[in-house]
Amino acid sequence: MDMILNALKYLAYVLIFPGFLFCFLSGLLLCGIDRKLVARMQKRVGPPILQPFYDFFKLCGKETIVPAAANKFMFLMAPLLGLAALVVLQLFIPVFQFNIPAFTEVADVIVILYLLLIPAVSIILGGASTGSPYAGVGLSREMVTVLACELPLVLVLLSVGKVVGASYQGGICFSMTKIVEYQMSHGSLITHAGLIPAAIAFLLVIPGETGNHPFDAAEAETEICEGMLAEYSGAPLGVFKLNHGIKMLTMTSLFVMLFFGGLGSGIESLVALVGLTGTAAHMVSVLLAVLLLFLLCVIVTAVGISLVHAVTARLKIEQIFKYYWTVVSGLALLSLVLVWYGL
Amino acid sequence: MMTLNYIASFFLIVLGLYCIVVKYNLVKTVIGLSIMDYGVNLLIITIGYNPGGTAPIFTEGELQAASYFVDPIPQALTLTSIVIGACVTAMSLALVIKLKEMYGTLDTREIRRLRG
Amino acid sequence: MFKKLIAESTGKSPWLFHINAGSCNGCDIELVSVLTPRYDAERLGFKLTGSPRHADIVVVTGPVTQQSLNRVLRSIEQVPDPKCIVTMGSCPQSGNVFRGSYSVAGPLSKYVHVDVDVAGCTPKPEAVIDGLYLATQILAEKRKEMKK
Amino acid sequence: MKYIDLLNFLNPVHFPIIAIMLYFLGAFLIVLFGRNRIVRNCIAFLATGLTLTLLILLVKPILIDGGIIPYWMGNRVPAGGYAIGIALEVDALSLFFGLLVATAVFVAILYSFSYMSEDDNEPQYYTLFLMLAGGVLGMVFSGDLFNMFIMVEILTFAAVALTAFRNRVTGALEAAFKYLVVGCIGSTCILAGTILLYQQTHTLNLAQLAYVIPRVGGTNVTVAFALLFIGFCTKAFIVPFHPLAADAHGAAPAPVSVMISGVLTKSGIYGIIRLSFFLFQTMNLGTMQFWLVFLGSVSMFVCVTMALAQHDFKRLLAFHSISQIGYVLTAVGLATTLGASAGLYHAMNHTLFKGLLFLTAGAVLHETGTTDLGKLGGLSKKMPWTTALFLIGAASISGIPPFNGFASKWLIYQASYEKAVETGNIGFALVTICALVTSTLTLASFVKVTQSVFFGQLPKECENAKEVSWGMRLAMSILAILCLVTGLFPNAVQKLLTIPAGSALFNPNAYINGMWQSHLPETAAPAVQTVGVWNPTNWLILLMIALLSICIVAIASKYDAVRENKGEKVALKYSLFYGGEETEFSQVGGGDLFWGFKQNWRHYFSFMHNLHSGIVNDYSLWAVVALALAMVYALIVL
Amino acid sequence: MDFPFVKEAISKLFSKPSCEMYVPDKTKLGAPNYRGRIVFHPEKCINCMMCERVCSGNAITHVIEKTPEGEDKVTRTFYLGSCTFCATCMDFCGHGAIEFTRDYHMIATKEEDLMVSGTFIKKAPVKKAPAAKPAAPKPAAAPAPAEGGKVIKPRDDGKPVQVPSKCVYCTICAKKCPAGALNVDRANKTWELDEDLCVGCGTCSDACPKKAILMPGDEPVTEGAPAPAPAPAPKAAPAAAALIQPRDDGKPVQVPSKCVYCTLCAKKCPAGALTVDRANKTWELDEDLCVGCGTCAEACPKKAILMPGDEPVAADAPAAAPAPKAAAPAPAPKKEEPAPKAEEKPAEPAKPVEPRDDGRPVQDPAKCIYCTICARKCPVGALTVDRAAKTWELDESMCIGCGNCYEVCPKKAILI
């Protein structure tokens, strides 16, 4: 009986709260907020905030055409695989001090770094399975973008691991839970002088990793017909758009947890101050933590994605690569060196 | 006298390597391999040689603690090594014949379809 | 509920695919101007897509030249249902000043069913918004019919 | 001498020699009775299968119980402190490599049955193949430096002959010749090193050498170390010997490629480990660690970039092979237990996934007659099994969870970064970064292969391709399943295989004791502890739950209600979108991909392209220069 | 890499969007002078086909049905889906039957929605002409021609008739004829009408500077009477000795004191008989070429050209005396008075209008004749000129300062 209840509980975790439903709602909402913000920054009114939801449901209602040249199974499964991988990935990212140990202890930051490849691989496979030449060009660019983002991301994570590891045995620490724990007691990592360049670098990596403007050469709709998505229609396309939204959520919440993880430390005492105790207090503080996380995600989106989108024009693919491997990696490397020599 | 042997073997090895590196003819490359092999063989024999030692062939009871003889192990090794050297030469010459058939030349600078 | 959501959303997120069938570029520029901050069609959910597979509304400009005819028809055919075809400007509706030229394959309506004509040479951006708006309504209806 | 008890064969003590002899016996029998196809296949199957079984039976006493099996040929037990006879000694490390060899050989033989069925001279092929296998196994089990040399020569000859086996293929002879020349330089180095050691120590037994050398020292020994090191590097194709591997793989039949990459390179790695951890016990010196880690990092990076620039399937795989060997060398060179076990883990994974990839490449070659990325495309519809298996292999090698490549690479990152933090040396952190970036570059080049060979458009020439036979599929599937299993249960694999083998590296005295029944103090290797957390099974269960539930939701909402093309002729609606153009052949693949990356690195790439000139003299020169450098370095630091 | 516009983007985030929140609205109209949906006034149409001929998009078609009475029932259709909205048809329509509205809502789901059509019954030539219209004016006009010799009556089939006595064979009518039905030879003084081609549109009559073409409905003219003009001549004679008399051979005379050498006359002269040099202030008439059509006199903004029938003008001073007869005497004489010594110099307006410094045009009300040319030529439709109300308005928000109006203004009444 207990086991069944437990199983149901974990199923609920996967499907509802940090899992699928939450990802679906907040991912698309984040996407909508981003679109709205970009529009406002360009002095436009912009679409309604719920526009991504409309888009998603509309696409669900459309006909799904499988091109004759495509590999049907791969074509249909690729978006679902990406979605599942992203949902599971989101489970691994703790919400401040509130995490589900069974999930967050499964993986560390390096693992998350690799799990982030799965959605990219899924979109690449999906695109490639159609055999479209646009997909060919698109996947090549997507891969180069992933490659470009990898180096700075690695450097940032290594710097973080070094800083946090100082208080743990072994000298390095990549566990997400421990990183957040460390911030609870030592203050957010952003206050660590040596990590400020790393935080900036990570912020700059976010749009590249999510494939947002101006690093969306892989899905340039005006030149290569949205690249890998060129042959997708209907619901699978909708799922890919959903994946994009969830990836934004994942990247931004990863950023928040890595650099602002200490902000949630006050929540529990705040709730206690109000006078709540027991389960109710826990529920309320979790709710507050989620809200805080989402708010921070929105702010990170506004700064890291929307602002960058609004003020730049799309880069060419070799410029993206050059940019990430020089400017952003330089920042991250600076951070690593600073951290290494004790700043 | 032993020093001369060492110098000679070193000279042979270097000569073989020089031949392999500098000569652009396949047959000369094979010759270089052989020379290098001989150099090593000479080295082995020299190492096993004890000045004034007898041949390490004894019948039962002949062998005494004071017997002064040449180390037999390097000689055994040399035999093996010579056999292997002959194999190398045979095999590479077979390949050279086939290469000449296929490419029509023995110049290594023209036998470079696999590159980059 | 899912079906209701779909029905609700169909009219709210029309994505455009723009085909230039030999246009003089006048209409093309006006179509883009619809998306500029002044008119900002995105606030109505309009979005230009790069691939016909993503589109709901196909906007055709230009007199459909012989060279472009097959390509236009192929692209239109590849749009998933429900779809809506909008001709923009006089050219695709009649050939306009190019009518009767040996290189013009004639009005688009000869080949496919055209849902909305937006007349003008070129139409004002406002008129384009009018036409696209009408197209979204047609789209929602088509979606209902498709369900049946 | 002794009454031979038939039952005595069942004593595990005899298993190693029986295993080696089975291969050679098989080779011999095939020469005799190999005319008949069935007989030939049976002999090959039995020889390889039995060997594998025997080695698996050895897992219990050696890997789990930590025993060491010495074996003196002809029961010539050493007397008077000198080992004259030929000896085998199987410790955890040897057995680990032996298992890899046996598995790879078994699978490759299974694959060969159908793959090679259209070639002439089949008996010779199997003979050479089993000779190669026996050579490697003999080298790995050998307890004698000179025997190692003999086995190295046997395997080099067999490999050269197998490379040139399909001599009508472009470049086969050329590759074989280059391999022969540079390989002989390497063998000669090993021989010269052996003899220099003999001069100093008057013994060839590995255990005795391991005991004597640290106590003797001297210039001769140092020079011998450099010679042996370069010799084994030649066998492992470490940079600067990597062009040989690339050439050989490109021309050799697929199962031979599996042998060269999965088995032959391992023998080189084994040699390097034996040399530096046991014979010379140099691995606690920071300078030697630097040397190995530097070579490994350079190998992994240079080869992966070279692979990106390739446009031949097998040649690309060959460069990747060396890149992965670079990982192994780097990890082993860290000289921590974690590093060593991670390195060995990766060596195992490398055998599995690289074997799988070479087999799929062979399947493609078998069906289409080419491996040129520019001429292939769209095979996923024709060869779905091969495609799926290839994707598993590609995911493994690129380190996509939950396949095995990730598990071992992840350990390598941990090990190198831990080492970096431990020593405070930022150089090791750079190694971590290099390894991580290399991993992504690997993914990139496999995306390139995926797109160029299996996806994209089907060229006219490939339209007759069909799925390969069951035999080949079976062989590939075995490796694919092993890839998944070793990736899903990294803890079990570590506990069972790699940690015992890795710990053996730090306990050379046990090796000496095992051989000589001496009682040197044994040092227990420090326990392996990882700071990271990664539990692929849990992750996979979560992923499966998520995927399943998403699929259920999707199917419930008619996600799979798709429109498909009915009938033979492709309707307009289902043809691809070419910007409105009619269907035309416009495959994007081969060298055209990753322009954005190559553009930024164009000087590097053109430099590398010019460097790999394809002239045998140049490669020999590299070997000589490497030898000189190694000698100078060894003389300076040792 | 740098990110420009960051500041701008953030400031825009907190400012009002610049969108026109346009939602489909049938009542909205385009900008002034926007050429939108065509409105056809069938009652004004005379079926001259001019519009169809000039239409580049073949958007205008017609169907003719015979009514039981034998009349032509013409249905003219404008297909907006083929229209380029160039307004050439409107310009060419002599009768204002085509109108472009500011309605841009030309959205249709069916082709028929884009059709603008009108049906009218073309006046049957036999019955209508004598019966309906000319009947009334005829008695009134009758007395005049009675005195003369031959009375030339308008034809009753809707086609033009020449009044040879008035005609100066300037060929303008032939040039304007949309159907090319007129053939005028100036040298031989012939005027021929190709009856088959003529559609009876009346363009020639409208264009004739001498009113020498009669259309149905016009009053008949008595041939031979040399126009009623000569009569006033003696009346003006005693005014001054040094008068410049109009010539009596029907050709123009310049009044140098008034002439500003604007070359307008030369430009307007259909025969190209005038050569005016603004720099050297010369005005020359090629007597051989001149057809005496009087276009120059009409075109002259200063009334500095006298035609037969005009009153003589004092050579040196702009006489105040002829005021009573002068066409537009009001502003000019007043300004001339204080500066009589300025013999050659044309009058400058007393209160000069300063050009604006923002590149936009300014009207000089004194010069403006409200001809609307500027409004029509304005590429952005920034000008609104009403001839009847004599208003000239500039929409500053639309004006782009191109100077087109300045260039086209015949009166140079626009300053830039």
pLDDT at D218 over 80: no
* Nearest-neighbour CA in chain E from A158: distance (Å): 26
Name the band, by pLDDT with cuts 50, 70 and 90, for residue C111.
confident
Tell me the residue range of the domain where B42 lies: 2-51+69-110
Q: Which of B42-56, D462-476, D484-498, D513-527 has the lowest mean pLDDT?
A: D513-527
* Token pair listed for E127: 């019955």
Instruction: Please provide the average confidence, as pLDDT, over all residues in chain C.
Output: 84
**Average pLDDT, stretch D83-92?**
80
* Token pair listed for B39: 């150099």
* Token pair listed for D132: 């190669």
Name the band, by pLDDT with cuts 50, 70 and 90, for residue A179.
confident
Nearest in space to D49 (alpha carbons), one of D107, D6, D128: D107
What ipTM did this prediction achieve? 0.70
CB contact under 8 A, B40 and D150: no
Return the CATH number at B29: 1.10.287.3510
Q: Does D615 touch chain A (CB under 8 A)?
A: no
* Nearest-neighbour CA in chain E from A207: distance (Å): 14
Residue with the bigger pLDDT between A183 and E272: it is A183
Instruction: Please provide the average confidence, as pLDDT, over all residues in chain D.
Output: 82
Q: What is the pLDDT of residues D33-57, one digit of tens each?
A: 878 888 888 888 888 888 888 888 8
Name the band, by pLDDT with cuts 50, 70 and 90, for residue D6.
low
E159 contact partners, CB below 8 Å, separation of at least 6: E193, E195, E198, E200
Q: Does A88 touch chain D (CB under 8 A)?
A: yes
Instruction: Give bridge partners of residue E392 from the DSSP assignment.
Output: E385
Residues of C within 8 A of D579 (CB-CB) are: 71
CA-based nearest residue in chain C for residue A230 = C51
Number of domains in chain E: 4
Q: What is the pLDDT of residues D550-570, one digit of tens each?
A: 778 777 777 666 677 666 677
Asked if residue C64 belongs to a domain, the reply is: yes
**Average pLDDT, stretch D191-207?**
85
**DSSP codes, C42-76:** GGGT-EE-SSGGG-SEEEEES--BHHHHHHHHHHH
* Token pair listed for C13: 């997120």
E388 contact partners, CB below 8 Å, separation of at least 6: none
E119 cis-preceded (ω within 30 degrees of 0): no
Give the separation between CA A94 and CA B85, rounded to whole angstroms.
Answer: 66
Which ranges in D142-171 belong to alpha helices (H)? Answer: 145-163
Name the band, by pLDDT with cuts 50, 70 and 90, for residue A8.
confident
Return the CATH number at C126: 3.40.50.12280
* Token pair listed for D454: 């299996």
Hey, where are the domains in chain D? 283-507+525-557
Give the separation between CA D301 and CA D303, rounded to whole angstroms.
Answer: 5
Percent of chain D clearing pLDDT 90 (strictly above): 0
Beta strands, E only, E220-378: 221-222, 243-244, 253-254, 274-277, 282-285, 305-306, 313-314, 362-363
Contact indicator for A230, A135 with CB cutoff of 8 Å:
yes
Asked if residue B57 belongs to a domain, the reply is: no
Q: What is the pLDDT of residues A228-277, one digit of tens each?
A: 888 888 888 888 888 888 988 888 988 888 888 777 777 777 777 777 77
Residues of C within 8 A of E109 (CB-CB) are: 115-117, 134, 138
CB contact under 8 A, C2 and D575: no
C37 contact partners, CB below 8 Å, separation of at least 6: A42, A43, A44, E17, E18, E19
Give the separation between CA A159 and CA A335, rounded to whole angstroms.
Answer: 7
Instruction: Please provide the average confidence, as pLDDT, over all residues in chain B.
Output: 84
- Among candidates D173, D188, D620 on the partner chain, residue whose Cβ is nearest the Cβ of B40: D188
Buried b (16+ CB within 10 A) or exposed e, D87-124: bbbbbbbbbbbbbbbbbbbbbbbbbbbbbbeeeeebbb
Q: What is the CA radius of gyration of chain D?
A: 25
CB contact under 8 A, C51 and A229: yes
Give the separation between CA E127 and CA D337, rounded to whole angstroms.
Answer: 119
Nearest in space to D167 (alpha carbons), one of B91, C16, E171: B91
| Helix, strand, coil fractions of chain C, as percent rounded to 5 | 50, 15, 35
Residue spans of chain E under pLDDT 70: 1-4, 122-150, 156-158, 178-179, 200-201, 217, 221-243, 248-250, 271, 309, 312-354, 357, 359
**Average pLDDT, stretch A37-56?**
86
Asked if residue B100 belongs to a domain, the reply is: yes
Q: With helix as H, strand as E and coil as C, how does D334-390 read?
A: CCCHHHHHHHHHHHHHHHHHHHHHHHHHHHHHHHHCCCEHHHCCCCCCCCHHHHHHH
Neighbours of C119 (CB within 10 A): 29
Give the separation between CA E36 and CA E414, rounded to whole angstroms.
Answer: 28
Residues of E within 8 A of C121 (CB-CB) are: 57, 83-85
Which sign does the torsion angle of CA C6, C10, C13, C18 carry? positive
Q: Does D167 touch chain C (CB under 8 A)?
A: no
Q: Does A47 touch chain C (CB under 8 A)?
A: yes
Torsion angle defined by CA atoms of residues D319, D320, D321 and D326, in that order, rounded to the nearest 10 degrees: 100
Contact indicator for E162, E205 with CB cutoff of 8 Å:
no
3-class secondary structure, D418 = helix
Interface of E with C (CB under 8 A): 17-24, 28, 30, 34, 36, 56-59, 79-85, 104-109, 111, 113-114
**DSSP codes, E386-408:** ETTTTEEEE-TTT-----HHHHH
Asked if residue B29 belongs to a domain, the reply is: yes
What local confidence, expressed as pLDDT, does residue E142 receive? Answer: 41
* Nearest-neighbour CA in chain C from A127: distance (Å): 13
Residues of C within 8 A of E22 (CB-CB) are: 39, 126, 129
Q: Give the residue from B71, B78, B84, B110 with the most D CB atoms within 10 Å of its CB, the best one to mutate.
A: B84
Q: What is the pLDDT of residues B85-96, one digit of tens each?
A: 898 899 899 889
Q: Does D572 touch chain C (CB under 8 A)?
A: yes
Asked if residue B39 belongs to a domain, the reply is: yes
Give the separation between CA B80 and CA B74, rounded to whole angstroms.
Answer: 10
Give the separation between CA E173 and CA E209, rounded to whole angstroms.
Answer: 9
CA-based nearest residue in chain E for residue A313 = E3
Residues E154 and E217 occupy one common structural domain: yes
Residue D137 amino acid letter: L
Q: Does D372 touch chain B (CB under 8 A)?
A: no
Residues of E within 8 A of A37 (CB-CB) are: 13
CA-based nearest residue in chain B for residue D185 = B33
Neighbours of A288 (CB within 10 A): 18
Give the separation between CA D408 and CA E24, rounded to whole angstroms.
Answer: 62
The angle, 0 to 180 degrees and rounded to 10, between the axes of the packed helices D470-488 and D404-423 is 40
Name the band, by pLDDT with cuts 50, 70 and 90, for residue D94.
confident
Residues E216 and E273 occupy one common structural domain: no
pLDDT at C16 over 80: yes
Give the separation between CA A205 and CA A156, rounded to whole angstroms.
Answer: 10
What local confidence, expressed as pLDDT, does residue E230 receive? Answer: 44
Q: Give the residue from E13, E15, E19 with the most A CB atoms within 10 Å of its CB, the best one to mutate.
A: E13
Return the CATH number at E280: 3.30.70.3270
Nearest in space to D410 (alpha carbons), one of A80, B65, B28, A157: A157
Asked if residue C3 belongs to a domain, the reply is: no
C100 contact partners, CB below 8 Å, separation of at least 6: E58
Residue with the bigger pLDDT between D353 and B52: it is D353
A342 contact partners, CB below 8 Å, separation of at least 6: none
B94 contact partners, CB below 8 Å, separation of at least 6: none
Asked if residue B26 belongs to a domain, the reply is: yes
* Token pair listed for A233: 């229609």
Contact indicator for E307, E226 with CB cutoff of 8 Å:
no
Give the separation between CA D347 and CA D366, rounded to whole angstroms.
Answer: 28
What local confidence, expressed as pLDDT, does residue B1 receive? Answer: 60
**DSSP codes, D90-118:** E-HHHHHHHHHHHHHHHHHHHHHHHHGGG
- Among candidates E18, E104, E114 on the partner chain, residue whose Cβ is nearest the Cβ of C124: E104
Nearest in space to D477 (alpha carbons), one of D551, D388, D548: D388
Q: Give the residue from C90, C109, C115, C136 with the most E CB atoms within 10 Å of its CB, the best one to mutate.
A: C90
* Token pair listed for D509: 């005295």
Q: What is the pLDDT of residues C71-86, one digit of tens each?
A: 888 888 888 878 888 8
CB contact under 8 A, E5 and A323: no
Give the separation between CA D61 and CA D54, rounded to whole angstroms.
Answer: 12
CA distances from E282 to D472, E128, E319 (A): 106, 53, 22
Residues E217 and E133 occupy one common structural domain: yes
CB contact under 8 A, C54 and A220: no
CB contact under 8 A, A45 and E6: no
Residues 1-30 on A with a CB inside 8 Å of C are none
Give the separation between CA C111 and CA C69, rounded to whole angstroms.
Answer: 9
Give the separation between CA E371 and CA E383, rounded to whole angstroms.
Answer: 12
User: Which pTM was predicted?
Assistant: 0.76
pLDDT at A125 over 80: yes
Tell me the residue range of the domain where E378 lies: 362-415
Look up tokens 């101006």; give the residue. Answer: A214
Contact indicator for A288, A267 with CB cutoff of 8 Å:
yes
Number of domains in chain B: 1
Q: What is the pLDDT of residues C115-147, one digit of tens each?
A: 888 888 888 888 888 888 888 888 888 887 776
Asked if residue B63 belongs to a domain, the reply is: no
Residue A50 amino acid letter: L
Residues of E within 8 A of A42 (CB-CB) are: 9, 12
CB-based touch A/B (3+ pairs, under 8 A):
no
